Structure 1
Amino acid sequence: MQPTRCRIRPRRRAAALASVTLLTLAVSTSAGSGRLMAGAPTAAGPVALARSSPLGPCMISGPLGVQMSEGIPTPAGYARSTGTVRALNLMVDFSDAPGQGSALDRFGEFFPQTTDWFRTSSYGRLDYRPQAPIDRWLRMPKSFKAYGIERGAPFDPGYRELVQDIVATADPKVDFREYDLLNVLITPNAGPSALDTVLSVTFAGNTQAPVADGVPVANASFVYSRQDDGSGSYAETGYRVLPHENGHVFGLPDLYTQEGGGSVGHWDIMSEDWGADNDLLGWHKWKLGWLDDSQVGCASAPGTTEHVLTPLAEPGTGGKLIFVPVDSKTGYAVELRTQAGNDEAVCKTGVLIYKVAADVDTGHGPVTVIDSTKDSGGCTRSPNVHAELSDATFSPGQYFKDLRTGIRITIAGTDTKGNHQVYVTRGRPTTS
Structure 2
Amino acid sequence: MQPSRRIRPRRVAALASVTVLTLAVSTSAGTGHLTPGAMTAAGPVSLARTSALGPCMINGPVDVQMSEGIPTPGGYSRSTGTVHALTLMVDFSDAPGQGSAMDRYHEFFPKTQEWFAASSYGRLDYRPETPVTHWLRMPKPFKSYGIERGAPFDPGYRQFVQDIVAAADPTVDFRQYDLLNVLVTPNAGPSALDTVLSVTFAGNTEAPVADGVPVSNASFVYSRQDDGSGSYSQTGYRVLPHENGHVFGLPDLYTQEGGGAVGHWDIMSEDWGANNDFLGWHKWKLGWLDPSQVGCAMTRGTTEYTLSPLERAEATGSGSGAGTGVGTGAGDAKLIFVPIDRRTGYALELRTREGNDEAVCRPGILIYKVEADIDTGLGPVKVYDAHRNSGGCTRSPNVHAELSDAPFGVGETFNDPGKGIRVAVTGVDAAGDYRVTVTRTR
Class of the TM-score when normalised by the shorter of the 2 chains: over 0.9
Aligned to 2:429, which of 408, 415, 428? Answer: 415
Q: What are the residue-to-residue correspondences of 1:240-389 with 2, within 5 Å?
A: 240-316=238-314, 317-389=331-403
Q: What are the residue-to-residue correspondences of 1:226-237 with 2, within 5 Å?
A: 226-228=224-226, 232-237=230-235
CA distance in 2, matches of 1:49, 1:378: 37
Aligned counterpart, 1:26: 26
**Aligned AA for 2:163?**
D
Deviation at 1:233, TM superposition (A): 3.9
SS in 2 for 1:10: strand
SS in 1 for 2:103: helix
Matched, 1:214 2:228: no
Please report the TM-score for the alignment, with normalisation by the length of structure 2: 0.93
Q: What are the residue-to-residue correspondences of 1:32-111 with 2, within 5 Å?
A: 34-35=33-34, 41=40, 44-50=42-48, 53-111=51-109
| 1:11 and 1:198 in contact (8 A); partners too | no
**Aligned AA for 1:22?**
T
Deviation at 1:382, TM superposition (A): 1.9
Aligned counterpart, 1:6: 7
How many residues are paired up? 425
Deviation at 1:390, TM superposition (A): 0.3
Aligned counterpart, 2:176: 178
| 1:36 and 1:217 in contact (8 A); partners too | no
Q: What RMSD, in angstroms, separates the aligned Cα atoms of the two structures? A: 1.8
More divergent stretch after superposition (221-230 vs 263-272): 221-230
Q: What are the residue-to-residue correspondences of 1:131-142 with 2, within 5 Å?
A: 131-142=129-140
Deviation at 1:35, TM superposition (A): 2.2
**Superposition misfits of 4+ residues, deviation over 4 angstroms:** 16-19, 30-34, 36-40
| 2:95 and 2:185 in contact (8 A); partners too | yes
CA distance in 1, matches of 2:375, 2:255: 10
Question: Percent of counterpart pairs with the same letter?
Answer: 71
Residues 367/37 of structure 1: CA separation in 2 closer, same or farther (3 Å cut): farther
| 1:263 and 1:367 in contact (8 A); partners too | yes
SS in 2 for 1:389: helix
Deviation at 1:20, TM superposition (A): 1.1
**Aligned AA for 1:84?**
T
CA distance in 1, matches of 2:272, 2:228: 13
**Aligned AA for 2:307?**
L
Superposed CA deviations along residues 39-93 of structure 1, whole A, max 9, x for unmatched, are: 8625x33212346701000000010000100000000110000000010001000
Residues 347/11 of structure 1: CA separation in 2 closer, same or farther (3 Å cut): closer
More divergent stretch after superposition (414-423 vs 361-370): 414-423
More divergent stretch after superposition (48-57 vs 111-120): 48-57
Deviation at 1:127, TM superposition (A): 0.3
| 1:17 and 1:274 in contact (8 A); partners too | no
CA distance in 2, matches of 1:40, 1:375: 47
Deviation at 1:279, TM superposition (A): 0.2
CA distance in 2, matches of 1:303, 1:11: 41
Deviation at 1:34, TM superposition (A): 4.4
CA distance in 2, matches of 1:33, 1:312: 27
Deviation at 1:220, TM superposition (A): 0.2
Superposed CA deviations along residues 97-124 of structure 1, whole A, max 9, x for unmatched, are: 0101100000000000000000000000
Residues 17/119 of structure 1: CA separation in 2 closer, same or farther (3 Å cut): farther
Q: Which runs of 5+ in 2 are unaligned?
A: 315-330
Aligned counterpart, 2:321: none
| 2:8 and 2:19 in contact (8 A); partners too | no
SS in 1 for 2:402: helix
**Aligned AA for 1:104?**
M
| 2:365 and 2:409 in contact (8 A); partners too | yes
SS in 2 for 1:163: helix
Aligned counterpart, 2:194: 196
Aligned counterpart, 1:149: 147
Residues 33/276 of structure 1: CA separation in 2 closer, same or farther (3 Å cut): closer
Residues 99/36 of structure 1: CA separation in 2 closer, same or farther (3 Å cut): farther
| 1:194 and 1:226 in contact (8 A); partners too | yes
Please report the TM-score for the alignment, with normalisation by the length of structure 1: 0.95
SS in 1 for 2:112: helix
Residues 162/239 of structure 1: CA separation in 2 closer, same or farther (3 Å cut): same
CA distance in 1, matches of 2:108, 2:68: 27
| 1:22 and 1:154 in contact (8 A); partners too | no
